[in-house]
Chains A and B, each alone.
Chain A
Amino acid sequence: MVELLIEAQNLTRYYGTRAAIQDVSLTLGRGEILGFLGLNGAGKSTTLRILSGALAPSTGRIAIAGIDLLNAPQEAKRKLGFLPEHPPLYPELTVAEYLRFCARIHGIPGKQVRSAVSLAQEKTHLTEMSRRLIRNLSKGFQQRVGLAQAILHEPEVLLLDEPSVGLDPAQIQGIRDLIRTLGTQHSVIFSSHLLAEVQSLSTRVIIIHEGRLVLSQELAALDAQRACSVHRIGLRRPPALRILEALEGVTHVSAQNDGIFRIEHQDQPEFPELLLREAVRRDWVPFTLSPERANLEEIFLSLTRGSDAIAPLPGAHS
């Protein structure tokens, strides 16, 4: 049994009469990187703020490494690092001053502050920037300062709210590498509305839609489940569509540009061989064949498209 670092049960939060999140339950095991997906306004930030203790839930319970966040907040918060959606920076301070302040409010003893700050700066590649005013840093560096703040006290759990928003592609790559490295020592929950990001970083994914969890699943399982039921084939001398549709196992075919056909078929491992053999035999001159990976995007869109699609999947935690 994996040790659970976060156990949240039935979190609900009302703003006035509107429920920002409803009945959200989730767990985070040691060593997991949990991707938290949702459209803008789906309740990602609210959930993360509640998990960080910055916001009290209207109902529900949260335990951080076994410590109840609502009953023993000080103790529980020591185990948490939180990067809010807007990095909480004081622009008038230098990077080092800011991090020293954060170290102290996170309860790091005076003698260890210096070493903790320089270690966090090293991990986030900020050592060069240590004496610069935060005001003068670019958005990417500011984001890193925010991240450095979250990992200063070596928390067991990291909560990152949209860590890559507003960065340029190179910076996004940098932040992702950083999260991947951090994931080896901490457990991480990060939210994102970028599917590719979640797909490339996380071990498990949860999807929230209109304040409710609609999916919680291992990425590997997700891949296996939906693997390769779609192939793309390129044909130099393509036949008519209905001939392709008539092939054994094919459920749907759509023609795309430049002789590429997208073929949906029943899930059988030998399908690509059969298809290729058929194509060669009938002289359609195939030049490319590729599986279409189980795409988080499809799942995401099917779950968040319209309200009839949001019945919880079997994989969703209850």
Chain B
Amino acid sequence: MIRALAQKEIRSFFASPLAWVILAVASLILAWIFLLQVDLFLRVMPRLALYPHEAGVTALVAMPLLRSATIILLLLIPLLTMRLISEERRQKTLDLLYSSPVRVTEIVLGKYLGLLGFLGALLALIVLMPVSLGLGTQLDWGLLAAGVLGLALVMAAFAAAGLYLSSLTEQPTLAAISSFGLLLFLWIISWAARGHGPGSHILRYVSLLNHFSAFMRGEVKMSDILYYLLFITLFLTLTIRRLDADRLEH
């Protein structure tokens, strides 16, 4: 059941021009940033040779690329998630799912996994750029893997939040704007925690950005992974509860 739902979601993505445009725009902008970073690296390379223990090509090209990718995806993922449930509400197709022998949990997981499938393709496109450098130079694979894992978790978290907000409304645009707002807010919430005031550690813990930064430094910590998994579980549960409530009282 979950597989059928996920496959349908992927099929729907690739049947819509929106998804293709998003893939194209993300690739184009990130490729541009990638080229700028490579160019920068080539210019500073002679000086880097003097400090053998300093950052290499992975830290100077791949990591900034992944960091920029999070910002681009913060803008683009809400556009991908906005239609997931709101469109079903608008087209009144939810009754099909509700009247078939599928659990609400399966509906939500199916949609989410379908979305992750699509995002996996997007991630592969992004990761291929720094990996291509491996043809000509030595990469720090460990650092790169940490960065990619971080980016994957961030994408999965964005997707879960977007899915939930899409379940709240009939208007895809509304879902997109509110997801974007929520994600951006959670991204920059730690800006308020520069000092050591009361509660600042809470703000830092809640921030999506804070946990991602550790991955950028090559640190893979269980606590950060757990944060993202909790974040995803929270929003998926909220979505399930929202859809369950549909059938009950209004």
Interface residues of A (CB under 8 A from B): 14-16, 49, 52-56, 58, 73-75, 77-78, 80, 82, 84-86, 88-93, 97, 101-102, 104-107, 149
* Interface residue from B1, B11, B92 paired with A86 (Cβ < 8 Å): B92
In the complex, which residues of chain B have a beta carbon less than 8 angstroms from the beta carbon of A102?
96, 100
- CB distance A106 to B100 under 8 Å? yes
Contact of A105 with B5 at beta-carbon distance under 8 Å, contacts A84-B92, A86-B92, A88-B95 already known: yes
Contact of A92 with B16 at beta-carbon distance under 8 Å, contacts A53-B99, A84-B96, A101-B4 already known: yes
In the complex, which residues of chain A have a beta carbon less than 8 angstroms from the beta carbon of B96?
82, 84, 88, 102, 105, 149
Contact of A58 with B249 at beta-carbon distance under 8 Å, contacts A49-B95, A93-B15 already known: yes
In the complex, which residues of chain A have a beta carbon less than 8 angstroms from the beta carbon of B11?
93, 97
* Interface residue from A56, A89, A90, A92 paired with B248 (Cβ < 8 Å): A56
In the complex, which residues of chain A have a beta carbon less than 8 angstroms from the beta carbon of B12?
90, 92-93
In the complex, which residues of chain B have a beta carbon less than 8 angstroms from the beta carbon of A93?
8, 11-12, 15
Residue of A nearest to B244 (CB): A56
- CB distance B101 to A73 under 8 Å? yes
Complex Cα spacing A77 to B247, Å = 15
Q: Check B227 for interface membership: any CB of A closer than 8 A.
A: no
In the complex, which residues of chain B have a beta carbon less than 8 angstroms from the beta carbon of A88?
91-96
In the complex, which residues of chain B have a beta carbon less than 8 angstroms from the beta carbon of A92?
12, 15-16
Complex Cα spacing A135 to B114, Å = 22
Complex Cα spacing A93 to B11, Å = 8
Contact of A106 with B98 at beta-carbon distance under 8 Å, contacts A56-B247, A86-B92, A93-B12 already known: no
- CB distance A15 to B1 under 8 Å? no
Interface residues of B (CB under 8 A from A): 1, 4-5, 7-8, 11-12, 15-16, 91-103, 247-250
- CB distance B99 to A80 under 8 Å? yes
Q: Chain A's nearest CB lies how many Å from the CB of B250?
A: 5
New contact pairs (4) apart from A52-B95, A54-B98, A90-B8, CB-CB < 8 Å: A16-B250, A55-B247, A82-B99, A106-B100
Complex Cα spacing A102 to B96, Å = 8
In the complex, which residues of chain B have a beta carbon less than 8 angstroms from the beta carbon of A89?
91, 93
The CB with the most chain A CB atoms within 10 A, among B8, B15, B92, B100, is that of B100
Residue of A nearest to B248 (CB): A56
Residue of A nearest to B103 (CB): A74
Complex Cα spacing A78 to B8, Å = 20
In the complex, which residues of chain A have a beta carbon less than 8 angstroms from the beta carbon of B97?
105
Provide 16 A-B residue pairs closer than 8 Å at the C-beta atoms, listed in order of the A residue: A15-B250, A49-B95, A55-B247, A77-B100, A86-B91, A86-B92, A88-B91, A88-B92, A88-B94, A89-B91, A89-B93, A93-B11, A104-B4, A105-B5, A105-B96, A106-B100
* Interface residue from B16, B92, B95, B249 paired with A82 (Cβ < 8 Å): B95
- CB distance B101 to A84 under 8 Å? no
Complex Cα spacing A77 to B95, Å = 12
Q: Chain A's nearest CB lies how many Å from the CB of B9?
A: 10
- CB distance A107 to B1 under 8 Å? yes
Complex Cα spacing A92 to B98, Å = 20
Q: Chain A's nearest CB lies how many Å from the CB of B54?
A: 51
In the complex, which residues of chain B have a beta carbon less than 8 angstroms from the beta carbon of A90?
8, 12, 91, 93
The CB with the most chain A CB atoms within 10 A, among B93, B96, B247, B250, is that of B96
In the complex, which residues of chain A have a beta carbon less than 8 angstroms from the beta carbon of B4?
101, 104-105
